[in-house]
Structure formats: structure tokens, C-alpha cells
Structure 1
Amino acid sequence: MTVRVQDVVAAMEAAYPPELAESWDAVGLVCGDPQAIVQRVLFCVDPVEATVDEAADFGAQLLISHHPLLLRGVHGVPADDPKGRLVHRMIRAGIGLYCAHTNADSAELGVSDALAAAIGLTVTGPLDPHSEGARTGLGRIGVLPEPEPFERFVQRVAAGLPTTAWGVRGAGDPQRPVRTVAVCGGAGDSRLETATAAGVDAYVTADLRHHPAGEHIARGDVPGARVPALVDVAHWASEWPWCQQAADIVATALPDTVEVLVSTRRTDPWTAHVAGAVSDPGRTLA
């Protein structure tokens, strides 16, 4: 059986329907001939120099990424522009690029399902469903097999995700029992209120900002209030488990016809981390 780019695209769009993408998003085939033959496909979070290098080294004819290459409006892709250079390079190398972004976030089995599985959760439903009773939507709610202290849960998250310079940060009582958890792959502080309303014990996401996180935790000091503890991870790490999920989808849809590979290049932009000299700055500076 000859597999073409359009066949791989069809498998991806059956799992991650383009109509689930946000109106501002840019998903789909960025470059490449739909009729081109595909024997190898590389899956990654970011379409950048490192992953294009990896695709070329693998001999891939198609690169599938989570993040779009051309999210903002463009008027050209000159080769002296970083993104234009990538487009020119992929075209010359015969490598197509397909992006599945917010459609993969909201799909019935998507980015947050992969994140939940990586940290050992059993998913019970979407955090923010598209409609009442829908199985699609942003984020997921799940449960652990047994309750565990928050400090151990933070360690669980760190063990389940690839290591980054950003690391894994927790905000909350270290001894608080955690059983129910909300997760949202990628930047998720816009769903803090949703996670709180869901009544979960902890919320795992990326790119949490100082003020929203601090104000959220402070609300827990009010008598009778209940807010989830927070776990902040690197954006790239929170979405990387999706790559294997997507690779499995294509391999299952096109068995024994294409070879799939998940990128191992860490494309998180942060490359260094220096821990402070104070072990617990929240309690004392001396």
C-alpha cells in the first residue's frame, strides 16, 4: 500500500477534527504536497530547527507538530526570516509539515488526556467541556488510584514528564491529600476558576503567572474556602506526551505502511536553572 501525505492527514483529522480548533488558530498542512509518498513521520511539539534536523536525520517525509509554525498572519516566507528559512528548508528536503494545535487540545482523546495518562490519572471527563455532557473540550479531570500527600504528588508529576530546566513547581500545603486532579496541557491559568469550581484537590498546567497563582492560593486562607493546590510545569513538557498519542493514532490507522518516531529533542526555550540558596523562601529569608 502506498501512503501519501493526504492519508496521514486524514488519520490525524479523524482523531483531531479541524472544526474543534479555536477561530484564531492555524491548523492543517503548512507545506508539502498532499500527493507526496510518505514512508516515515516524525512527531514533535515545536516545528523548529532542531526538530527539522531530526526529521531530516530520520529520513521523514512528513513532520507533525502540535504548535503551529505560522500562527500569526504573514505576508511572505523569505529565506532570511527564521520561519521562512524553515519552510524553504523543508520544501527543499521534501518534508511536509502538518500542525494539530487547539483541535488536538479539545479532541475527545487529546493533549490533556496524554498528560493525565503520563502522571497516572484515570480521566473522568473534560475540565471545560464544549457543552453539557460533551466529551470534547479543554483540560481533563481525573483521579489517582489512591490519595497521596501533595508533596508526593508533585514528585509524581516530575517523574511522569520529561526533565526541563524549568522544572516542576508546587503551590499548596505539602501534606494536603490529593485524589482528584484537573490537568490542562499548555498555558492554563485562564482555567483556574474552572478548576476551582470543579472541586478538585490539585490543578496541573503550564505557564502559571505570579499574580493569578498567588491570588488563587490566598483564597484558600479564607475560612470554609477550598481551592486546588497548583502544579506548574514547563509548557513543552506538558504537551510532549501527546506526540506518542498522535504517533500511535497514525500507526494504528496505517499499520505496516509508515514508520513513526517521536522527537526526543527538548525544544523548551529555557536552558538553565539555578536554585536559590534559601530552601524555603516562603517561610524565612534567614
Structure 2
Amino acid sequence: MENWISGERLIQRFEEWAPKKLAYEKDKIGLLVGTLHKKVKRVMVTLDVLENVADEAADKQADLIIAHHPLIFHPLKNVRSDEGQGKIVTTCVKNDIAVYAAHTNLDIAEGGVNDMLAAQLGLKDTQILQPTYHEPLYQLVVYVPQSHAETLRQVIGDAGAGSIGNYSHCSFSVPGSGRFLPQSGANPYLGSVEKMEKADEQRIEATVPEHLLRTVVAKMIHAHPYEEPVYQAIPIQNKGKAYGLGRMGKLPEAMPFERYCRLVKEKLGIDGLRAVGPADARIRTVAVSGGDGNSLIPFAKYRGADVLISGDIYYHTAHDALLCGLNVIDAGHYIERVMKEGVKQYLTRVIKEEHSDTEVLISESVTNPFRFIV
């Protein structure tokens, strides 16, 4: 019997990688057309949702399209079935194809679009170019009998609590005395009903990132001997893991800008690119942003990049780059098609973990609106 994953579960697992909270505030991400309340036999991954993509999805009987660029970004004034975006929406609705978009959240996510591009370009020692989000941290505080303190520390550490830099299982403990009076109906681990009990306990503290808090607390409660463990999860000011736009890394060796432009063209598989800067400039430190990189020019310059590779650079922004001495490569927005293979690999792994027979397809439709005429 074939086992299809539900659309809700598939997207839930996808958002473990690229959660919506990473996206820019006004970004049009998430479910844009259709419903996820159904089984998904085939999911198709695409950069853009154009008419040829919708037709391809219908021909291949896909139940869900996962795209990087949102199909509906600006409000539609109408949904006509014979032209424009309305024609695309109509095709998807008629064929019961849901359309889901992961845009800036997939750019920012660890292992997302910008990390894929950095890997394709062969950059080493990569780091975030512009931090946009730090995951909140909590201080988990729990009181436990001395007899179970070591076990509980191990359990919450194994679940991810107490990870600081290159260290794991970090915690702090203070011994003390716990007092409680079991009431009628209680089944106390220590003491007797209607009799005040005093117990040697430890107060254990450990930091927990927000995305692991529910898991750590659940495992702590399961391992705790008391019927009603006393614990707190307190927000703290320390900054958690950073996420952000763009990546910056190193080339194995420096090379002239002209030569590097040709290397970028080869590695990204593009027909041409636009270059800003002198041909003999030395390039070693590279910043990359798959989409609009205009706002990242100051960050790239400040962080010491020799060149910024972007999908979109404006004319006057190119002047600004020249004035500040930053070389720029406008490789075109279509370089973000690298996400198709990356998302397929992630979904394939998820589907295997879910023991599902759902098939993952990569759209073969070309959605690049530009072509080079030499």
C-alpha cells in the first residue's frame, strides 16, 4: 500500500529548515494557492511559478509546488482565467495544485539559497554577510532530587540544552532543600500523603534555544521522578544563533577580477554577467547574495569583501560601489535556480524519514526572462 505524506506534514518539516520567522516582515511567503489539507503524491520544486511551470505541474500531476519566488507578491486586482497571473492561478486551482513559497526565509536559512551559491562558487570559511535575526535563548531552571540530578542533566543536555559555542551539556547546579505537603489523591515519589516532606534537591540551570525549548522540556518532564516537576523557562538577553542575508567566504588564492568573472560565469552556468570594477583588481574575499544585493554593498565593503556577487544591481548603486572601491558582479537573478536541487535533496530526505512514497520533481521549465544577444 502506497503511503503519501500530507501537505501539512511536508510543509511542517520544510519549515523546520526555513521557518517563516526568518522571512522579511512584508514578504509574501507560505501557502498562496490551494490547500495543504490533502495527501501529496508528487511535489514539484521551482524557482518561479510561471504559466509554463503551472502547465508542467498539471501535466505531471503534481499536488504541490514549492517555489522560491512568490506567485502572488502584489495584490491581484482580478483573477482572469485568460491572461496574466489569473491564468496561472486558474490552472493551479483547476488541477488542485497547491502553491507554497519560501522566499527570504529560504535565503536566510542555514543551508539555504545563499549557502548553496557559496558552495557552488567554492567559497571556504563562509560566514553571514548581514545578520538579520538572532534566535531567542531561554534559561531553563528545574528542581530535582539529588538522586536524579546527574541523570536529568544528561537528558536535557542530550536534547540540546546547554550548548554554548563549541561546548555541549553546559549547566549550573545549586544544592538546596525542597519542601512539600502531598494532598489527598497525590502519589508522591518521596514522602507520604498529608505529611510535610523535606528533600535534598538541586536547582539545575541550562540555556536552551527557542526552537528546542518544547523538546527539552518534554524530555525533562519525562525523566523527572516527581508527579509535578517545578521548572521555569526564562527569556535571557544573550544572543542566540545568528541568521542573515548573504554569505562571505574566501577563494583558495587571489586572482584578477577579469579572470574571476569568467570563473563565476563557468561555476554558475550562466551565459553572461555584468561586472563593475577594474579588470586587474585582486579578488580573494567574496560576498554573495542570490537576489537583490543593492542594500548589501555597504556591508560587503565594511566586512572587507573584494567583490559582491548578486542577482540584481541597480545602475546608480553600481556607481556607489565604484566610489567606495567595491567590485561587483551582477550575475542575474536566475542564479537562484540552484535552490531547486537543494530543496529536492532536503525534501527527499524528509520523505524518507517519514516513510512516505511521495515523489519529488524538479521543474524543467525555464523561467529566466532574459537572454543574451552578443
TM-score by length of 2: 0.66
RMSD over aligned Cα, in angstroms? 1.9
Deviation at 1:103, TM superposition (A): 1.0
Match for 2:27: what amino acid? D
Separation of aligned partners in 1, 2:357 and 2:12:
15
Does residue 1:274 correspond to 2:373, yes or no? Answer: yes
Of 234, 253, 262, which aligns to 1:155?
262
Q: Is 2:355 the partner of 1:250?
A: no
How many matched pairs?
264
1:154 Cα deviation from its structure 2 partner: 1.0
Three-state SS of the structure 2 residue aligned to 1:196 is helix
Distance 2:346 2:333 in 1: 23
TM-superposed deviation, 1:11: 2.1
- The more displaced of 122-131 and 100-109 is 122-131
Q: Which residue of 2 aligns with 1:146?
A: 253
Match of 1:79 among 74, 78, 81: 81
Go from structure 1 to structure 2 and tell me whether the alpha carbon gap of 1:64 and 1:168 turns closer, same or farther (over 3 Å shift). same
Where structure 1 has 5 or more consecutive residues not aligned to the other structure, the ranges are 221-227, 276-286
> Where does structure 2 lack aligned partners over 5 or more consecutive residues?
135-238
- Is the Cα contact below 8 Å between 2:118 and 2:126 reproduced in 1? no
For residues 1-286 of structure 1, what are the structure 2 equivalents within 5 Å?
1-74=3-76, 76-130=78-132, 131=134, 134-164=241-271, 167-220=272-325, 228-237=326-335, 239-255=336-352, 257-271=357-371, 273-275=372-374
1:254–1:159 Cα change, 3 Å: same
1:254 match: secondary structure: helix
**In structure 1, distance between residues paired with 2:246 and 2:279:** 24
SS of equivalent to 1:157: helix
Determine if contact 1:154/1:231 at 8 Å carries over to the other structure. Answer: yes
36-45 vs 68-77, which deviates more? Answer: 68-77
CA distance in 2, matches of 1:135, 1:159: 31
Q: Structure 1 residues 38 and 259 mapped into 2: Cα distance closer, same or farther (>3 Å)?
A: same
Indicate if the aligned counterparts of 1:123 and 1:140 stay in contact, CA closer than 8 A: no
Whole-angstrom distance in 2 between the partners of 1:179 and 1:219:
17
2-side partners of 1:143 and 1:78: how far apart?
49
Q: What is the distance in 2 between the residues matched to 1:133 and 1:151? A: 40
What SS does structure 1 have at the residue aligned with 2:37?
A: coil
Q: Deviations over 1:21-57 (max 9, x none)?
A: 1111111111233232212221111111111122223
Distance 1:133 1:68, change over 3 A: same
Segment drifting more, 8-17 vs 172-181: 172-181
Aligned counterparts of 2:90 and 2:255: Cα–Cα separation in 1 = 51
- Alpha-carbon shift at residue 251 of structure 1 (Å): 0.7
Whole-angstrom distance in 1 between the partners of 2:13 and 2:348: 9
Deviation sequence 1:112-135 (CA, Å, 0-9, x none): 111111211125211001257743
- Aligned amino acid, residue 189 of structure 1: N
> Which of these two proteins has the greater Rg computed from alpha carbons?
2
The DSSP-based 3-state class of the residue aligned with 1:136 is strand
Normalised by the length of structure 1, the TM-score is 0.85
Name the residue aligned to 1:279. Answer: none
In 2, distance between residues paired with 1:133 and 1:193?
25
- Contact between 2:4 and 2:358, CA under 8 Å: does it hold in 1? no
Return closer, same or farther for 1:134/1:179 CA change in 2, 3 Å cut-off: farther
**What CA distance in whole angstroms lies between the structure 2 residues aligned with 1:67 and 1:185?**
12
Q: Tell me the amino acid that sits aligned with residue 119 of structure 1.
A: L
Residue by residue, what CA displacement relative to the aligned partner does 1:259-284 show, whole Å, maximum 9, x if unpaired? 2222232212123x333xxxxxxxxx
Q: Which residue of 2 aligns with 1:225?
A: none
Distance 1:252 1:214 in 2: 44
